């Protein structure tokens, strides 16, 4: 369901490489809100020279709400009901996991289909524009689904109360929890040791490149339909932040993507497997529970089998340590250039789509066979050159047998090679985490000190006002 980052790369970025030809029909994608506390909430800004140019004077987004607002969420629930959302077995409430979530108001059985959202309340590439001319222009340029929905969301948001989606947009966060809002300095400071840093930088650059292409090829040619004060880098950062964290992929509709109001209030749990989909029999978006719920219990959904880093990248939160069985970390491995067989091994890797430096996922339960095969190749001596091709194929998972290869004579060296790389990564985490902790503690100390001083000043001012008021009352009584 929450395949947002994968879909972004496969449906949007190929178009970018082809001069980002824009296409219309938007599909439906599923993404949910977050469920766990975010690690860091940072200020608005981006990296890269293009980004800096596009965001010279960032302005706050004038629509949306604070993330924990229940007032706008209640207005959303009423509007959805008035707009045709049938009675649900869940209510929108303040919850322990996530700021807002859906809570059972009736008994819900395991295997029950709940949360019916009709197509009329779903935002997709086919949604009707309040400004039809703008939609027609994007269709003529064949804009892909992602940037099309992002532009549509900005267009409707800018109309405020005039848009039919105003209650939905008012319930969306004004600043999504997204790495799109992290500065390059913050990424370097807090994620230096993590492979997610590179993916975050790539995503920021992709969003920036998408906006720049739309601006240069479409918006600048139709300023009356796409004024820069509305369609700019800041509003696109907001809209893509919303899409990454809420867009839903619906398998039964050929993987089309959409925003599904009400459904996107569901929070993620690593313990559930159920996801949103389009139900052809009832003609609406539903999900089938994989566990029973009692009244008052929060109902959860899965955002996908993602690592903690992937959840942070798209949704801006990290589950509590040890609660995500699919958590993993990328371990970088590299051939040594001093290896006498470096070129020969590199050629074997290239034949199988690999390079001299590769990353492999590590989990608490172990590591993949491909990692071990790469380690064998990295430590193998010249006398085993006849096996280089076999090892490289196994490392790329292109081996015809798909079975684990073993070289007992190399195992000790291979394990040592993996251990050395693990310890190198650990040392980076230790260094940068300590720096981050020291910095955060220092900054927090300053903020706490300022908070203490301001509270005392306000208290003294109020005391002074009270004294003055008492004195005034005394004088008034005297003259009376």
Residues annotated within the binding site for substrate are 246, 264, 278, 303, 315
> What whole-number distance in Å separates Cα of residue 425 and Cα of residue 435?
16
61 in Cβ contact with 53 (< 8 Å): no
DSSP state of 58: -
Backbone angles phi and psi of 281, in degrees to 5: -70, -40
What is the bridge-based pairing of β-strands 300-301 and 267-268?
parallel
Known binding residues = 246, 264, 267-268, 278, 303, 315
> What whole-number distance in Å separates Cα of residue 255 and Cα of residue 257?
6
> What whole-number distance in Å separates Cα of residue 391 and Cα of residue 180?
39
The two three-digit tokens of residue 124, written as one number: 């997709």
Backbone angles phi and psi of 439, in degrees to 5: -65, -50
> What whole-number distance in Å separates Cα of residue 45 and Cα of residue 187?
11
Q: Is 110 left (phi over 0), alpha (psi -120 to 50) or beta?
A: beta
> What whole-number distance in Å separates Cα of residue 285 and Cα of residue 272?
18
The two three-digit tokens of residue 241, written as one number: 């932040």
What is the C-alpha R_g of the chain?
Answer: 27
- The SS3 call for residue 193 is coil
432 in Cβ contact with 193 (< 8 Å): yes
- Half-sphere CA count of 49, side-chain side, radius 13 A: 0
Cβ atoms < 10 Å from Cβ of 220? 11
The 3-state secondary structure of 244-289, one letter per residue: HHHEEEEHHHCCEEEECCCHHHCEECCCCCCCCEEECCCCEEEEEC
How far is the CA of 251 from the CAs of 39, 52, 266, 307, in angstroms?
Answer: 31, 38, 18, 21
Which residues lie across from 293 on neighbouring strands? 108
Known binding residues for S-adenosyl-L-methionine = 246, 267-268
> What whole-number distance in Å separates Cα of residue 464 and Cα of residue 452?
18
The two three-digit tokens of residue 269, written as one number: 């749990």
Is the CA virtual torsion 325, 406, 392, 398 positive or negative? negative
With a CB cutoff of 8 Å and minimum separation 6, the contacts of 328 are 307, 361, 362, 363
> What whole-number distance in Å separates Cα of residue 384 and Cα of residue 234?
56
With a CB cutoff of 8 Å and minimum separation 6, the contacts of 386 are none
């Amino acid at each position: 369901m929450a395949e947002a980052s994968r879909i972004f790369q496969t449906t949007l970025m190929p178009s970018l490489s082809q001069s980002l030809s824009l296409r219309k029909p938007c599909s439906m994608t599923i993404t949910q809100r977050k469920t766990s506390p975010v690690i860091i909430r940072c200020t608005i800004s981006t990296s890269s020279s293009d980004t800096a140019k596009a965001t010279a004077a960032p302005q706050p987004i004038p629509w949306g709400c604070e993330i924990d607002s229940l007032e706008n969420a209640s207005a959303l629930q009423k509007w959805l009901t008035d707009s045709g959302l049938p009675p649900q077995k869940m209510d929108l409430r303040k919850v322990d996991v996530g700021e807002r979530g859906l809570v059972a108001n009736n008994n819900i059985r395991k295997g029950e289909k709940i949360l019916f959202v009709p197509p009329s309340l779903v935002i997709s590439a086919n949604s009707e524009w309040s400004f039809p001319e703008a939609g027609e222009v994007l269709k003529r340029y064949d804009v892909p689904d992602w940037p099309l929905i992002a532009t549509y969301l900005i267009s409707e948001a800018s109309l405020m109360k005039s848009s039919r989606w105003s209650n939905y947009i008012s319930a969306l966060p004004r600043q999504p929890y997204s790495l799109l809002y992290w500065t390059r300095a913050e990424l370097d400071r807090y994620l230096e040791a993590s492979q997610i840093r590179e993916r975050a930088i790539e995503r920021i650059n992709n969003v920036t490149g998408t906006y720049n292409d739309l601006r240069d090829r479409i918006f600048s040619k139709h300023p009356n339909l796409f004024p820069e004060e509305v369609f700019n880098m800041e509003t696109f950062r907001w809209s893509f932040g919303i899409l990454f964290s809420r867009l839903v992929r619906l398998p039964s509709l050929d993987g089309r993507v959409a925003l599904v109001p009400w459904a996107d209030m569901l929070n993620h749990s690593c313990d559930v497997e159920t996801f949103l989909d389009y139900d052809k029999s009832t003609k609406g978006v539903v999900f089938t529970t994989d566990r029973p719920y009692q009244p008052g219990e929060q109902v959860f959904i899965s955002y996908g089998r993602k690592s903690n880093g992937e959840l942070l990248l798209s949704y801006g939160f990290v589950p509590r340590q040890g609660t995500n069985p699919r958590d993993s970390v990328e371990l970088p491995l590299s051939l040594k250039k001093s290896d006498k067989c470096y070129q020969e091994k590199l050629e074997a890797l290239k034949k199988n789509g690999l390079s001299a430096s590769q990353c492999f996922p590590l989990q608490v339960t172990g590591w993949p066979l491909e990692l071990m095969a790469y380690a064998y190749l990295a430590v193998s001596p010249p006398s085993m050159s006849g096996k280089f091709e076999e090892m490289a194929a196994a490392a790329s998972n292109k081996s015809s047998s798909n079975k684990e290869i073993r070289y007992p004579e190399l195992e000790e060296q291979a394990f040592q090679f993996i251990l050395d790389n693990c310890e190198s990564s650990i040392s980076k985490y230790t260094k940068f985490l300590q720096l981050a902790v020291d910095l955060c503690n220092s900054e927090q100390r300053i903020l706490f000190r300022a908070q203490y001083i301001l509270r005392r000043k306000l208290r003294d001012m109020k005391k002074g006002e009270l004294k003055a008021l008492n004195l005034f009352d005394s004088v008034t009584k005297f003259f009376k």
